[in-house]
Amino acid sequence: MSTRLATGGRLLNKAKQVTFSFNGKQLTGYEGDTLASALLANDQMLMGRSFKYHRPRGVVASGAEEPNALVNLGAGGKFEPNQRATTTELYDGLSATSQNHWPSLEFDVGVVNNYAARALPAGFYYKTFMAPAAAWKHVFEPIVRHSAGLGKAPKDRDADRYEHYYAFFDVVIVGGGVAGLQAAKTAGLAGASVLLMEQTAFWGGRAPVDGGEIDGKATDDFIDATVTELEAMDNVTLRNRMMGAGVYDHGYLLGYERLTDHAPALAGPRHRLWRIRAKQIVTATGAIERPLSFAGNDIPGVMLASAVRDYVANFGVSAGDRTVVVTNNDDAYRTAIALKNAGLDVPVILDARATGGGALAEEAKALGIRVENGKAIAKVKGGKRVTGVAICAQAGEGSVLEDIACDAVAMSGGWSPVVHLWSHCGGKLNWNEKYAMFQPDPNRPPLSHDGNPFVVPAGSAAGAQTDTDYEGFSLFETLRTAHDAANKVCQALGLNVPDLKTPSVSEHDEVALEPVWLMPQGAGTKLRMKAWLDYQNDVKVSDVRLAAQEGYESVEHTKRYTTLGMATDQGKLSNINGLAVLSDALNQPIPATGTTTFRPPYTPISMGSIAGEARDEVFQPLRRTPIHDWHEANGAFFEPVGQWRRPYCFPRGSETHADAVKREINQTRNSVGLLDASTLGKIIVKGPDAGKFLDMMYTNMMSTLKPGKCRYGLVCNENGFLIDDGVVARIDEDTFLCHTTTGGAERIHGWMEDWLQCEWWDWQVFTANVTEQYAQIAIVGPNARNLIEKLGGDMDVSEEALPFMAWKDGKIGAFDARAYRISFSGELSYEIAVPASQGRAFWDVVMEFGKEFDIMPYGTEALHVMRAEKGFIMIGDETDGTVIPQDLNMQWAISKKKGDFLGKRAQLRDHMASPDRWKLAGFETLDGSVIPDGSYIVAEGKNANNQRNVQGRVTSTYYSPTLDRGIAMGLVHGGMNRLDDVVEFNKVDGGTVAARVVDPVFYDKDGEKQNV
């Protein structure tokens, strides 16, 4: 059984007991425990079920690389799935449940998959669900969906707060082990601004567990002294519980700080995402131990040797009473020695190397531990817990030599440097034959904007340097490379490197490992089918070999076919072993197979931290017109238009939106209505060449416009497609004011600037986007003039003084106003601009004086309906980025005199002149109903995809209160040549609705109402 030892536990505060629950069971641990160590202390080795076969799984590792011990944490708004028990710090009241089982962890129905494992090989899904097509929807998909996913998706709103934090440093060091600390000290003394981050709660990494002495003192003392030294430096920032999540272009680095996960009662945000620009990055991210591939290596109780040792040293927890150690290197002997020294039994150390180990092996033997060289595990016995191992010769095919009873297995297949951050932004790797690992190639680092390297690996993360005679990941080399890395970044920063010596170290010499990718070497199919590579996704040696056999030679393809390394642990334990097996199957060296791509984040980060503060009202800025508050106070139903909110309508009492729109239209058509048009884009174009410039921007002639007059214009892009429209007013000889659509203001302003800055930079024109400088209010309807005259002021707004398509400055009431006689409704209409600061006051006055005309505001829906009744186009309805003005019968707005304008050349292309283009027409349903939005005009026959042929589509469709019937505009093959034809629009229910092709101007064809 796994249990708490009487002694040990350097990270624990044994004075403080902590209560937590696992699957509803109340358990206790100590402050300083992780959830994994506390569960082990309570003999809860079984922590989850695997994804595909639902095999019972226990914890394998002690850190971020853990693939098995994933749990659901918390409840309600604090619920989060797939949390690693090994990186979850224990706190009072923590509540965890295990995942991927039904009805319980101990007894799981899905485990039938395990017994059917032979029928579920690599690529099972691809091979099985091919046909018949209908079976996918009704049979396969429901089954797959039911079994997909490990944890549950949260159902409630995230109750926590998250934030982003921007930071800038000369040097960021990722990893607070002895290498990171040493590098921080060197860089700190050189005067650089330094950030040192460590993903766990404590400093020093695994050096204190592994032993050795630095400068004649225990590693713990070196760590404490260095942290104290760093804390005293003003230019050094230390952050623990913060992971380097990803390295990106030009020194951009994401730091994921977990502020309250270990103590939810703390105030403040739960996670903080640091968005850092670093001039130089040191990756002191350490190394991860590899599992060995032998049959039954996933049975709960089989763990990484380093993890077994961590649990003893850090948490005073034993994984088992009798632990068999199996290894291909010297490091695992440390585990055997630690276990023995803790009073636990180590029946045997199986060393796959025929020649055995070095000094550590001698020490183990001296402690009385039996050591078997050249031996291996044939298979592990047990179901939900290890009960023993069968041992065999590594060189053979697995003939059992001896059975040994045990309740834990500590395995070590060697170590892989954590090269993720080095690789994220393009750092390349070399295969180190001697130590069987990929390591950073110092000659091919990630490059920054200046073409110089910006990432330097340090310590174990740098791998082994082949030009030195050290063996393995020695403490000395760790400190030496850290010091060198810091020197390198200081030089790159132009700082004087401090005169520091690498500390002296005393440690055991190690002899080299022997690569072992399969145990025993000649294991047959039966054993290979039980030798796991990827625990989380249930990928075995046999799966990778099958993939190779079926032609998946690229490691990237094999990964996707078998799902090797595609789980939430991203193959931290499995990838190297997997590609070694693939290389063996393909009969090629490992570097020829290569690695899959390392992608950020290093371990999953919370969605909340990615969003940061960007939720609810701060998700994006809201633009408000000067009259917005009035709309809000008067019950407006808003719709988003770009970043604005515009009133869609102003429902009264229990009125429906449709009724409100109808009322607003009838009032406007019969008396007077009011529209807040402040969101319309307003761009000043000024300068001696302004007219010439606008002649290029608009399809029609603007330079001939007289001051005091307005002209409607169309804007096209160089593809000839219509992108915006609006009324241009000439203010004086040199100045124009261009109205754009609400959504187009910034875009059209940018478009103008683009041509002025990059093409015609010698033209004398300035532009300014003054959209928000004015409140613009449209007073619309037959009583509009009567109302304005009642407001007083000095402006003559009579037909003679201010005719249709003219504008005028003056006083309306007490307000400085500019009145434009323009109409988007077909009614007598004045759009009146006043300074934004006076917008609300002006609106209030108009509402007050308008009472006798029953004045009411109208919203965007009434605006849309009224313009559609008049056959006016709307950018975004009648246009979709593929429509040219000619499609909309707007030849009248395209100058034939101008030699050039943007879009002119494109409109000359033969496709644009084709008589087959769909063109604008109006439509009236025969039964008076409203054509559904998005409807197509169907044609005879079907196309190659068995879809109904079409000959056009609706672009605007409304119920017209004025005509009391459905009206529509649309694009149809033949356009207005089809007048009086009856066509069929499809409906959502599968039927069609018949409509007659008519003139799109449904109301006041001669313009008698607006031009008065």
Name the residues that contact another protein, by CB under 8 A.
Answer: 248-252, 277, 426, 447-451, 718-719, 750, 753-754, 757-759, 761, 899-900, 904-906, 908-909
Distances from the Cα of 518 to the Cα of 296, 410, 527, 582, 954, angstroms: 12, 16, 10, 12, 66
Report d(CA 816, CA 839) in Å as an integer: 11
CB of 750 to another protein, least distance (A): 7
CB of 428 to another protein, least distance (A): 12
Are the C-beta atoms of 385 and 400 separated by less than 8 Å? no
CB of 594 to another protein, least distance (A): 18
Closest to another protein by CB, 250 or 840? 250
- Token match 């005309």: residue? 853
Task: Supply φ then ψ for residue 765, to 5 degrees.
Answer: -145, 135
Report d(CA 425, CA 445) in Å as an integer: 9
Tallying the residues shown for the chain, one arrives at 1012
CB of 761 to another protein, least distance (A): 4
The greatest distance separating any two alpha carbons of the chain, rounded to the nearest whole angstrom, comes to: 114
CB of 922 to another protein, least distance (A): 33
CB of 414 to another protein, least distance (A): 33
C-alpha closest to that of 44 among 65, 66, 29, 64: 29
Closest to another protein by CB, 250 or 365? 250
Closest to another protein by CB, 475 or 745? 745
CB of 747 to another protein, least distance (A): 11
Closest to another protein by CB, 214 or 278? 278
CB of 277 to another protein, least distance (A): 7
Closest to another protein by CB, 248 or 470? 248
- The type of residue at 526 is K
Closest to another protein by CB, 202 or 252? 252
Closest to another protein by CB, 759 or 844? 759
CB of 454 to another protein, least distance (A): 10
CB of 759 to another protein, least distance (A): 6
229-230-234 Cα angle (round to 5): 115
Closest to another protein by CB, 275 or 840? 275
Closest to another protein by CB, 762 or 989? 762
Closest to another protein by CB, 102 or 168? 168
CB of 910 to another protein, least distance (A): 9
Closest to another protein by CB, 231 or 759? 759
Closest to another protein by CB, 227 or 278? 278
Non-local (6+) Cβ contacts of 778 within 8 A are 674, 675, 677, 824, 825, 829, 830, 831, 832
C-alpha closest to that of 228 among 924, 220, 745, 409: 220
Closest to another protein by CB, 449 or 501? 449
CB of 903 to another protein, least distance (A): 10
Report d(CA 884, CA 725) in Å as an integer: 12
- The type of residue at 893 is A
Report d(CA 295, CA 116) in Å as an integer: 17
CB of 622 to another protein, least distance (A): 18
Report d(CA 173, CA 205) in Å as an integer: 14
Please name every residue paired with 768 in a beta bridge, in sequence order, or none if there are none. 684
The end-to-end CA distance of the chain, in Å, is: 96
CB of 754 to another protein, least distance (A): 6
Closest to another protein by CB, 280 or 416? 280
Report d(CA 802, CA 976) in Å as an integer: 35
Report d(CA 162, CA 38) in Å as an integer: 28
CB of 254 to another protein, least distance (A): 10
153 burial type by CB count under 10 A (0-12 exposed, 13-18 middle, 19+ buried): exposed
Report d(CA 408, CA 301) in Å as an integer: 4
Q: Which helix (H) or strand (E) holds 207?
A: helix 207-210
Distances from the Cα of 654 to the Cα of 175, 651, 657, 961, 984, angstroms: 63, 8, 9, 19, 36
DSSP 626-674: TTHHHHHHTT-EEEEETTEEEEEE---TT--HHHHHHHHHHHHHHS-EE
Closest to another protein by CB, 396 or 442? 442
Please name every residue paired with 29 in a beta bridge, in sequence order, or none if there are none. 18
Are the C-beta atoms of 742 and 864 separated by less than 8 Å? no
